[in-house]
Structure 1
Amino acid sequence: MPTPLDPAPQTDKGAASPGRTSPDGLVAEPDDYALGRSRGGLTTKIHLAVGASSHVLATVVTAGQRADAPVFAEVMARIRVPRIGGGYPSTRPAHVLADRAYSSRKTREYLRRRQIPHTIPQKRDQVGHRRRRGSAGGRPPGFGREKCKARHKVEGRIGLLEQARGVGTRYEKLAVRFEATFQLTLVRQALWHLNRDPGALQWLHYSWPTMPELFGINHLTLSTTDLDRLVAYYTELLGAVLAFERAATPFDPRIAVIDVGGDDHLMIVETATAPTADLDPLGKAGWGLRVGTHAQLCEVREQILGAGWPVGPIETLPTQWTMTARDPDGRPVDVRAHRPRTSSPSPTTG
């Protein structure tokens, strides 16, 4: 039976220990206790994934004689960066930097399969082997010397961890307890850093952007003193659809939301007095709508003229046809139709 002073032998030098399984089916402790014999005697190796802000993203503990490259995929699989606003955690870094120990075909294929850019220097024997094969050796992988210099953050983070005696010198019998020791060390170092500099919370942030994804403008808001008149203008003349209407309450005004197509909406709020700000400070249309074809644009123009509301002529631009109308509140509305890409003669409007 293996003990901390006599690790269990491994038949495959690079294979991971299967571990003893607990009654609930989870691996509780590796059979070798994450202890192995290397030049320094009985040692344990900590594999880290560190972000650009020196924040530790993932950790794996193995025996000291284990090579780095076979554990690379396991370390990457443990990266889970929470997203702001919820959702699935981010698992794919923007770029991976690693030293020569990870320069293997399997590692590079793994990164290419996940479409992760990477900078890993080649080993000297790999370079020589490729050159001896000539054209059959293929092209060398890309390598950015300046970008690779940022790899010092991993070494610096390991040095910071080893300042804790319980991490630099392992005293625990079980690997799970040793892993808990340096996890607590990470927490203690983070709290110490925040205590010295409360404004340095960015030091704990993750190394790639976690901003929420934007999908466009949700709605525009207009104010009017006559909600029914303005809604009728946009729905009956411009083809919008009334999506929602709410009556006034003692605390909130009456509003209506109309669908103008393309998952875009216009919110109209009824107020007691007209807005005092200039409706068109730039002298141009404040916002615009789009129809499908030039014929539809002409049809909309005729409907607006038939209703007695002002509308300008249709102008021909290099990529579209456009006209400017005025809604019942005098607000400019730009209505456009995109021109086809083919070079055909432009229709004219009488």
Structure 2
Amino acid sequence: MAEPDDYALGRSRGGLTTKIHLAVGASSHVLATVVTAGQRADAPVFAEVMARIRVPRIGGGYPSTRPAHVLADRAYSSRKTREYLRRRQIPHTIPQKRDQVGHRRRRGSAGGRPPGFGREKCKARHKVEGRIGLLEQARGVGTRYEKLAVRFEATFQLTLVRQALWHLNRDPGALQWLHYSWPTMPELFGINHLTLSTTDLDRLVAYYTELLGAVLAFERAATPFDPRIAVIDVGGDDHLMIVETATAPTADLDPLGKAGWGLRVGTHAQLCEVREQILGAGWPVGPIETLPTQWTMTARDPDGRPVDVRAHRPRTSSPSPTTG
């Protein structure tokens, strides 16, 4: 960002003001930001905000720049904005300003048809308003102290990073860039953190997500210096990191020794369901064993590593001693 001539400071009756324009995704992730003077109109900045949207694609390639649907405040309603969206073939829901509605009606049939507007769909715009409120919880953002606009933008960029790390610590799956429709098993918890290596990352990711019900939380494409990796969210604040390598895994296929890599489901019925899914996919899995405190079975992932899947047995209250 180059420093604007006016330092993104506007003068109005309220004093010096600054306006932050945000593009927020459906999952409340901030996709793009633009800082302008407070008195500057919103509609002329719309194209600049859209031009800054860059969503990385899993597996590499050019980033995605065209949203599936755009919801915007009525302040962004203008003929230029709608022409821009139609030219890029982006569906949009933007309420009209009252003066625009009046001008069109006064022109009669020459005013044309009103643009389509979905009231229920527009209600989802609360996500950007809530994101702005969350961003302004930082005093440095809510009350600007920096003179330079580049420093102010750096301030709320750091605020975004800090808030993202806070949410990641609470819910590791909350920051996934894309939403996946793979089925997930409820009450799935990981036992031990682990990093695995494999020559076929896609196959191993599909095994843990489609069969065991985990969720792909993050994936990074390979670079000339770093390998391709994927992070599997197995619940319970536990993760499984998978690194794709050119060579096969080491001979020691049990990375934790006798402890093993394990997943825990909630009930015995869920454990049976997971076992049927694994058998239906043609992968090996042992019988369900009954232990004093849990049911357990051992499966083998596509690389031959043992995966312990277990469900804790409900505790039974022991009879209280009686006195004669």
Which band: TM-score by shorter chain?
0.5 to 0.7
Q: How far does residue 250 in structure 1 lie from its aligned partner after superposition?
A: 31
Residue 298 to residue 33, structure 1, CA distance change in 2 (3 Å): closer
Q: Structure 1 residue 222 and structure 2 residue 200: aligned?
A: no
Shift of 1:53: 0.4
Q: RMSD value over aligned CA atoms?
A: 17.2
Mean Cα displacement is larger for which, 118-127 or 203-212? Answer: 203-212
Deviation at 1:128, TM superposition (A): 1.3
Q: Report what 1:8 is aligned to.
A: none
Whether 1:262 aligns to 2:262 is no
Structure 1 residues 211 and 80 mapped into 2: Cα distance closer, same or farther (>3 Å)? farther
Q: Per the alignment, do residues 122 and 218 of structure 1 end up closer, same or farther by CA in structure 2, a change over 3 Å counting?
A: farther
In structure 1, C-alpha distance between the alignment counterparts of 2:166 and 2:235, rounded to whole Å: 54
Provide closer, same or farther for how the CA distance between residues 343 and 275 of structure 1 changes in structure 2, counting only shifts above 3 A: same
Gaps of 5+ in 1: 1-26
Partner SS, residue 148 of structure 1? helix
Change in CA separation of 1:117 and 1:231 when aligned onto 2, cut-off 3 Å: closer
Rounded Cα–Cα distance in structure 2 between residues aligned with 1:116 and 1:261? 36
Asked if residue 76 in structure 1 is aligned to residue 76 in structure 2, the reply is no
Aligned partners of 2:221, 2:162: CA distance in 1, in Å? 56
Q: Which residue of 2 aligns with 1:287?
A: 261
Q: Cα offset for 1:262?
A: 47
SS of match in other structure, 1:249: coil
| Deviation, structure 1 residue 56 | 0.4
Following TM superposition, the consecutive aligned residue runs of length 4 or more in structure 1 with deviations greater than 6 angstroms are: 203-350
The structure with the largest alpha-carbon Rg is 1
Residues 208-244 of structure 1: CA deviation (Å, up to 9, x unaligned): 9999999999999999999999999999999999999
- Give the TM-score normalised by structure 1: 0.51
Deviates more, 1:119-128 or 1:283-292: 283-292
Matched residues, number: 324
Q: Shift of the alpha carbon at 1:319?
A: 61
Residue of structure 1 aligned with 2:118, choices 136, 144, 164: 144
Shift of residue 314 of structure 1? Answer: 50
**Structure 2 counterpart of 1:345:** 319
Distance in 1 between the 2:263 and 2:191 partners?
14
Deviates more, 1:113-122 or 1:262-271: 262-271
Give the whole-Å Cα distance in 1 for the aligned partners of 2:282 and 2:164: 69
The alpha-carbon distance between structure 1 residues 213 and 44, as it changes in their structure 2 partners (threshold 3 A), is: farther
8 Å Cα contact 1:314/1:349 also seen in 2? no
Question: 1:35–1:42: 8 Å Cα contact kept in structure 2?
Answer: yes
State the 1:343 CA deviation: 77
Does structure 2 retain, via aligned residues, the 8 Å contact 1:289–1:336? yes
**Against the structure 1 CA distance between its residues 250 and 337, is the aligned structure 2 distance closer, same or farther, given a 3 Å change threshold?**
same
Residues 292-320 of structure 1: CA deviation (Å, up to 9, x unaligned):
99999999999999999999999999999
Give, in angstroms, the shift of residue 133 of structure 1: 1.2
- Could you say what secondary structure the match of 1:180 adopts? helix
1:61–1:196 Cα change, 3 Å = same
Identical-residue share of aligned pairs (%):
100
When residues 106 and 220 of structure 1 are mapped into structure 2, their CA distance, relative to the original with a 3 A threshold, is same
Q: Is the 8 A contact 2:301 2:307 kept in 1?
A: yes
In 2, distance between residues paired with 1:199 and 1:162?
24
Once residues 261 and 269 of structure 1 are traced to their aligned partners in structure 2, the CA distance between those partners, rounded to angstroms, is 20
**Unmatched 5+ residue regions in structure 2?**
none
Quote the Cα distance in structure 2 between the aligned partners of 1:246 and 1:303: 28
- The 1-side partners of 2:15 and 2:63 are apart by 39
The more displaced of 168-177 and 269-278 is: 269-278
Shift of 1:202: 3.5
Q: 2:234, 2:171 → 1: CA distance?
A: 51
SS in 2 for 1:155: helix
**TM-score (normalizing by structure 2):** 0.55
2:189/2:263 contact within 8 Å kept: no
- The farther-off stretch of 263-272 and 293-302 is 293-302
**1:66 corresponds to:** 40
Q: Do 1:36 and 1:63's aligned partners in 2 also have CA atoms closer than 8 Å?
A: yes
Aligned pair in 2 of structure 1 residues 118, 210: CA closer, same or farther (>3 Å)? farther
Secondary structure at 1:312 match in 2: coil
Instruction: Summarize the Cα distance change of 1:171–1:310 in structure 2 as closer, same or farther, 3 Å threshold.
Output: closer
Distance in 2 between the 1:310 and 1:195 partners?
Answer: 34
Aligned to 2:127: 153
